[in-house]
Amino acid sequence: MQPNFDQELEDRLVRYAAIDSQSDETSSSTPSTGIQFDMLNLLVAELQEIGAENVTLTDYGVVLATIPATAPGPAIGLLAHVDTAPQFNATGVKPRVIKNYDGGDITYPDNPDLVLSPQKSPYLASKQGDDLITASGLTLLGADDKAGVAIVMTLARHLLANPDIKHPKIRLAFTPDEEIGRGVGERLPKDLDVDFAYTLDGGDAGEIVYESFSADRAVVTVKGVSIHPGWAKEKMVNAAHLAAKIVQTLPQATMTPETTDGREGFIHITDMNGGSSEMEIKLILRDFELDGLATKGDLLRSVCDAVQASEPRAEITCEIFPQYRNMRYWLENDMTPVELALAACRAHGIEPISAPIRGGTDGSRLTEFGVPTPNIFTGMQNVHGPLEWISVQDMAKATEVCLTLVQKAVAHESR
């Protein structure tokens, strides 16, 4: 008989979502906020209680644990992040369960102006009869990624309570600071010690994602010539004018986040700072292919060179730094982790969706470090804002898919 995970998933998400564990990109500590330890320490206690082995909280803020193998096969990692997004209020989250959703508009007790309408969301409309979880109107919910945490914990509890289920060794990892791109440090791959892994951090039921952006960031510095404006004639070089020229020369009607989608990349100015003597422009470059990414870097450099040539007394530098790479470059060499996830989905009658993700995940970094890590759906919707919601039944589907996946892995040789 298929186990029913609905109530446990609901209880766990409600419990975890009420804990404020927002990350902070302006902080330089690890984890970026001390409050993330409230989640990390709770998970340590809960993992010990359900009988997980080797439960540890590393000095870089990751909770690790083992579910021992009951059969041979490749060691599999399951990851979820404990932090919530810094983009919206995450303090005082009051999760609310809507049992047996009637298919109508959803209103919010703490914010009468807010409405979540199935007219605007076909996905919501398709969830009539499901149990939904939302916030109360003033905060995000934090299903991103407390839903992932709830799914991994529910699966772990089920496997540990049923040692007759055959599966290879499973390693669990709960990471901080995913939302600010600092979830996977250099020591995690070795400490995780698996053949491949999955992040539970995706959206619609069926999403199995193994393509992310390749990402660089750039810093352009413009140094002008500073002099008292009263005596500046033919001497001053104003850095602000030159920086404006660079921004004006970069593509605007194309190749920006607001003018692209699908498989198109972009150049995005994230920050501009300074004054007449010196300006700094920060940018991010994104593309699914490395040559496309390099072309965007070349374009930025040529714009800087052209503006430099127009004013030789200025000093313009352009530095480009790699951030993360499309996980497909590694996964296409061995699609086993992806194929297992797709097969597990289909076994539950869910047609997999594998659209490339216009961003990065903890899995992008892990894959680059040698641990192939596709991303599996949780059901989370409208993340990073007050209209965030999730269906308990979607979370249950994700739990069942993972349960099938680890059993299917038994047949596979460890690499």
Q: What residues between 316 and 355 interact with Zn ion by CB under 5 A? A: none
- CB of residue 337 to Zn ion, shortest distance in Å: 19
Q: At closest approach, how far in Å is the CB of 179 from Zn ion?
A: 6
| Under 8 Å between Cβ of 150 and 43 | no
Q: For residue 368, state whether it binds Zn ion (rule: CB under 5 A).
A: no
List the structure tokens of 414. Answer: 């460890």
Site for Zn ion in 2-41 (CB under 5 A): none
Q: Is 178 noted as a catalytic residue in this protein?
A: yes
Nearest to 403 by CA among 118, 156, 173: 156
**Token code pair at residue 254:** 């194309």
Residue from 83, 177, 311, 368 carrying the catalytic annotation = 83
Q: Does 177 bind Zn ion (CB under 5 A)?
A: no
> Please, are residues 51 and 160 in contact by the beta-carbon 8 Å criterion?
yes
**Residue 144, interface with Zn ion (CB under 5 A)?**
yes
150 DSSP 8-state letter: H
Output 340 or 383, the one with its CB closest to Zn ion. 383
Minimum gap (Å) between residue 354 Cβ and Zn ion: 18
Q: Annotated catalytic residue: which of 178, 211, 368, 388?
A: 178
Bin 272: left if φ > 0, else alpha if -120 < ψ < 50, else beta.
beta
How distant, in Å, are the alpha carbons of 233, 282, 309 from that of 238?
12, 19, 15
Question: Based on CB atoms, which residue is closest to Zn ion, 144 or 195?
Answer: 144
Contacts to Zn ion from residues 184-203, by CB under 5 A? 201
In the bound state with Zn ion, the residue whose beta carbon lies nearer, of 20 and 144, is: 144
Nearer to Zn ion, 223 or 286 (CB): 286
Residues forming beta bridges with residue 266, ordered by sequence position: 286
In whole angstroms, the minimum distance from the beta carbon of 390 to Zn ion comes to: 12
Output b/e per residue, 359-389; b: 16+ Cβ within 10 A: ebbbbbbbbbbebbbbbbbbbbbbbbebbbb
* Beta carbon nearer to Zn ion, 144 or 311: 144
Q: Kindly give the interhelix angle for 143-161 and 392-408, rounded to the nearest 10 degrees.
A: 50
Q: In the complex with Zn ion, which residue's Cβ is closer, 159 or 180?
A: 180
- DSSP per-residue codes, 162-195: -TTS----EEEEEES-GGGT-S--TTHHHHH--S
Burial 203-231 (b: 16+ CB within 10 A, else e): bbbbbbbbbbbbbbbbebbbbbbbeeeee
Tell me the closest approach of the beta carbon of residue 100 to Zn ion, in angstroms. 28
**Which of 89, 276 has the CB closer to Zn ion?**
89
Element housing 278 (H / E): strand 278-287
Q: Least distance in Å: CB of 24 to Zn ion?
A: 16
Q: Is 126 exposed, middle or buried (0-12, 13-18, 19+ CB in 10 A)?
A: middle
Size of the site for Zn ion (CB under 5 A): 3
Contacting residue, 145, 207, 211, 400, with Zn ion by CB under 5 A:
145
Separation between Cα atoms, residue 335 and residue 210, nearest integer Å: 10
Active site residue 8: no
CA distance 407 to 414: 14
What minimum distance in Å lies between the beta carbon of 383 and Zn ion? Answer: 7
Which 8-state DSSP code applies to residue 24? -
Rounded CA-CA distance 405/81 in Å is: 20
Residue ranges that bind Zn ion, judged by CB under 5 A = 144-145, 201
As annotated, the active-site residues are 83, 178
